[in-house]
Amino acid sequence: MQAEILKAIQTISNPFLDYFFIAVTMLGSSGFYFIFIPIFYWCVDKRFGLKLGLILISSIYVNTILKEITKIARPIGYPGIRSIFTQSAGGYSFPSGHAQGSTTVWGTLMVHYQKKWLWYIGIAVVLLVSFSRMYLGVHWPIDIIGGILIAVLIIILSELIDSIVKESNFNISLAFKVILSILIPALLILIFPHKDIYEYMGLISGTLIGYFIDKEKFDFTVNAPLQKQILKLLIGIIVFFVLKEGLKFVLPSGNIFNAIRYTICGLWLSLGAPYVFNLFKLNDKTIKA
């Protein structure tokens, strides 16, 4: 039944739609999120940018575990199904990481801002990204449905946790926050030591450490004129990708060093970049004296 659905979808295949859906599917890739989420952290709302990143990485963690548990093969190579852009299809099939990730990000945005126009855009992006995975022949329909439903559950749980955190008045020292930022991701790695988990837990650890240090020492603000916002994004994103790829040639290979590499990238996102923005007065508030 699932194979027949994919075959029916692929009856509309043509070169234009191939390129179109390859472009669409990139909206659900990690590369897109590495650019998209910092926009919120650096230019819109620092706390919400952090929240959006944490929810997405939590979703990726769950997705990775479920893929490794279910071990369902992708439709790639199935008779009668054409699979293209297979470099976007790593690992097992269920649930779809692209469908789950796009639902997580856009669903969180829709819940947070409660704007009708954003709901239209968000739903359209989720549906297009999800459909693209079937058009490209890299996911079964059940993978798409599962990914969307799991993302909805994660959003509900995350909003509940966030409301509890907002209402609580925990007075925790900076040192303890930094320790927790290292220990909790390390524990999650120990629970499920997949190679991708090392990277994303490193990213969470570095980002949280930087966020807490910045909040107490510098208190970076996002406000700035449009020209400076664009300059912030260019500097921040270019340095991020230089660190992400360049550190591969500096650090030895292996999961531990990948975690360290992503920790450094996280520190840049939440501490290094804001410090540079403050230093060069690219936002409306400078470093505290």
Q: Are residues 145 and 233 in the same domain?
A: no
The number of distinct structural domains making up the chain is: 2
Q: Structural domain of residue 250, as residue ranges?
A: 172-288
Identify the residue whose tokens are 């837990």. 201
Q: Are residues 224 and 234 in the same domain?
A: yes
Tell me, what amino acid is at 76? I
Q: Are residues 190 and 102 in the same domain?
A: no
With beta carbons less than 8 A apart as the criterion, state whether 81 and 141 touch: no
Q: Report which secondary-structure segment, H or E, holds 134.
A: helix 116-135
Q: Are residues 8 and 103 in the same domain?
A: yes
Q: Are residues 110 and 2 in the same domain?
A: yes
Q: Are residues 183 and 130 in the same domain?
A: no
Cα 122 from Cα 134, distance rounded (Å): 19
Q: Are residues 144 and 187 in the same domain?
A: no
pLDDT in tens, 217-267: 888 889 999 999 999 999 999 999 999 999 999 999 999 999 999 999 999
pLDDT at position 285: 63
pLDDT at position 226: 93
Query: CB-based contacts of 85: which residues, under 8 Å, 6+ apart?
Result: 22, 25, 136, 138
pLDDT lower than 50: segments of the chain = 287-289
End-to-end CA, the chain: 66
pLDDT at position 110: 97
